[in-house]
Amino acid sequence: MKYFSAESYVRFNENDGQEADTAHTAWERAILEYRRYLKEHRDMMPTRVRMLAEKTCLHDALLLGRQMHRSVGQNGVDSRRLLTIGLQLGGETIVLNYFLCDSPKEFKPKKDWPFSKDQLHWLYDEVAVNEDGHTATAPPSFVHRVLLSDGSELEIPFIDLILDRFRLRTSQDVLAVASRANENSGRRKRRAKSG
């Protein structure tokens, strides 16, 4: 992570007033610098990548799981690789589908990570344009860096992604649908009787 690192998050949690103030100022400055970076590079990003970089906030989403999918070509070489990450945020399930251009990396947390490692969730993330190898004919690739609540960091090199959102149906939603169905059925019966 370049802007929102595990170290700056730990510093933000300092108990001492002055250190906490300094960390607060540093974090706000990092937000401004990251926004400036995105503004300078937004023309290189397809719409879906731009949405992820500029509009999507997955902070506090519970990590449900992640899986790599490979499609092997005729010559036995991986031709396409896809990474899916499932998250739950409020009443929504979110699935991130990355079309990879290289292998994702995971960086283990430091031993002195001071926060709980239970209930793994998403903390902060940043998108960067990988300008190496970008030419007029070769489209740019991107890197999504994610800080997780156990202090580990993911680095996902990708060329495009699809983000799907599904609304979770709660037991209350199901009861409301059943209640409306009962009302409609009662109305139909009364109409049939009176008719």
Whole-angstrom distance, CA of residue 74 vs CA of residue 27: 49
Taking residue 33's Cβ as centre, other Cβ atoms within 10 Å add up to 12
- Give the residue with the Cβ less far from other proteins, 107 or 113: 113
CA 52 from centre of chain = 8
Q: 5, 27, 81, 152: which one contacts other proteins (CB under 8 A)?
A: 27
Taking CB under 8 A as the binding criterion, the range among 6-14, 105-113, 156-164, 167-175 that sits at the site for other proteins is 6-14
- Give the residue with the Cβ less far from other proteins, 82 or 89: 89
Q: Does 167 bind other proteins (CB under 8 A)?
A: no
- Percentage helix, strand, coil for the chain under 3-state DSSP, each rounded to 5: 35, 35, 30
Binding site for other proteins (CB under 8 A): 3-4, 9, 12-13, 17, 20-21, 24, 27-28, 31, 34-35, 54-57, 59-60, 115-116, 118-119, 123-124, 126, 149
